[in-house]
Amino acid sequence: MRETTLAQSLPELPIGDGAEAFIEWLTSSFGWFFVGVRDGVGGIVDATEWLLTTPSPYVMIAVFTLLAFAATRSWGLPLFTVLTFLLLESMGRFPEAMQTLALVLVATVLAVLIGIPLGIWAARNEKVSVAIKPVLDFMQTMPSFVYLLLAVVFFRIGRVPGVMSALIFAMPPAVRLTELGIRQVDKEVVEAANAFGARPREVLTGVQLPLARASIMAGVNQVIMLSLSMVVIAGLGGAPGLGATVVRAVTGMNIGMGIEGGIGVVILAIYLDRVTAAFGREGRGRRRSASKASTDEASLSQNDDTDDAEGSDQATSDDRDRSIST
């Protein structure tokens, strides 16, 4: 009895209907905007795809292998690259893999271009940081299919909804890890820059960003992995590439094709993860974390009466074990 009264007294909020009406209004009033984005992003994706698919696959495999070597300076990853990408080609999945890669690259670049400045803003402004948090949570937890649905409504089917939904789904780590990275920079070091009269811009570009680099690169790595996973799902929305292959395999119960598409995604994922992770540790960053251990030991033995808890946390994001999140 009581439950019915409670249910009756609760007003029925037509969230779904409202959202639908709102989106209809958006598409009709801002149609020009969505058309503009569709044409712009579509153009960039087409160009990227053209770049990746026009040369012979063997040329591309050579390029990827060199890139892997440049990133890691060792033989393991380049060897892996040659073997797995040749496997892709022999399965006949290389063109699809390049189409997927084009979507991932465009989505990642856009997400980083928006996400890093947002993260910087949030690190410098407490209000922005507080305001942005629930939005990021929303973006990350909303089921990715729902984005795809919305993106298809706004941008029709094809590549663009794939990129746009990947952009939204994958951007949060770029924002969060940029903010975190900047906030983790030793407070005294930032004070030192300020004490010598550095302008805010000099503090940011000369001190905070370089010292947050490892964390920011971890964010970029996450963006890439998330957008790869989203781009595969975007096969449902008509985006070409390995996603489309998998979708076709699932709808046609074609096990062989499904496994080939799946292996293609895994190969891309491992390659992108290892390369970006290596770039994140590259250069001085790597040297710092290598010799960091010895200085920490030295300062530990010296600081018997003061605590030196800060300052040692910079290396942790460097050394964090990276795992694939797809």
Partner 1 sequence: MSKLRVSELTKVFGSRPKRALELMEQGRSRSEILEATGQLLAVAEVDLKIEEGELFVVMGLSGSGKSTVIRMLNRLIEPTAGTVEIDGERIDQLDPSALRSVRQSKLSMVFQHFALFPHRTVGENAAYGLKVQGVNEDERRTRATEALETVGLGDRVDAYPNELSGGMQQRVGLARGLATKADILLMDEPFSALDPLIRRDMQDLLATLQSELNRTIVFITHDLNEAMRLGDRICVLKDGRVVQVGTGPEIIDNPADDYVADFVSDVDRSRVLTAEQTMRPVRRTFSPDDKPRTVLDWLDEQEFSGAYVVDRDKRILGVARDDRLANGVRSGATSIADLLTQDYATARYDTPLSDLAGMAANSTVPIAVTDDTGQLFGVVPRARLLAALSSQEVEVDA
Q: Does 188 bind partner 1 (CB under 8 A)?
A: yes
Contact stretch for partner 1 (CB under 8 A) within 69-77, 108-116, 249-257, 307-315:
307-315
Shortest distance, position 322 Cβ to partner 1, whole Å: 22
Which residues in the 275-294 window bind partner 1 by CB under 8 A?
Answer: 284, 287-288, 291-292, 294
Note whether 197 binds partner 1 by CB under 8 A.
yes
Interface with partner 1, residue 205, by CB under 8 A:
no
**Of 18 and 206, which CB lies nearer to partner 1 in the complex structure?**
206
Residue 173 CB, nearest distance to partner 1 (Å)? 23
Distances (CA, A) of 55 to 66, 94, 185, 264: 16, 12, 44, 19
- Of residues 211, 231, 234, 278, which one binds partner 1 by CB under 8 A? 211
Identify which of residues 287 and 320 has a Cβ nearer to partner 1 in the complex.
287
Contact between 279 and 221 (Cβ < 8 Å): no
Q: Does 74 bind partner 1 (CB under 8 A)?
A: no
Q: Which of 4, 29, 251, 301: binder of partner 1 (CB under 8 A)?
A: 301
**Which lies closer to partner 1 via its Cβ, residue 152 or residue 211?**
211
Among 191, 252, 319, 320, binds partner 1 (CB under 8 A): 191
Of positions 28, 29, 306, 323, contacts partner 1 by CB under 8 A? 306
- Name the nearest CA neighbour of 154 among 238, 55, 38, 257: 38
Among 194, 250, 257, 279, binds partner 1 (CB under 8 A): 194
- Residue 183, exposed/middle/buried by CB under 10 A (0-12, 13-18, 19+)? middle
Using the rule CB under 8 A, which residue among 199, 205, 316, 319 binds partner 1? 199
Sole binder of partner 1 in the list 57, 95, 258, 311 (CB under 8 A) = 311
**Among 125, 205, 303, 316, which residue sits at the site for partner 1 (rule: CB under 8 A)?**
303
Burial of 166 (0-12, 13-18, 19+ CB in 10 A): buried
Whichever of 55 and 206 has its CB closer to partner 1, that residue is: 206
Q: How many residues bind partner 1 (CB under 8 A)?
A: 36
Locate 280 and state its tokens. 């994140």
Q: Is 202 in the site for partner 1 (CB under 8 A)?
A: yes
Specify the stretch interacting with partner 1 by CB under 8 A; choose among 222-230, 237-245, 263-271, 295-303: 295-303
Least CB distance to partner 1 at residue 200 (A): 9
Q: Rule CB under 8 A: choose which of 68, 193, 228, 247 binds partner 1.
A: 193
Q: Is residue 126 left, alpha or beta, with left meaning phi > 0 and alpha meaning psi from -120 to 50?
A: alpha
Residue 124 lies near partner 1 (rule: CB under 8 A): no
Where do contacts with partner 1 occur on this chain (CB under 8 A)? 186, 188-189, 191-199, 202, 206-207, 210-211, 284, 287-288, 291-292, 294-295, 298-299, 301-306, 308, 310-311, 314
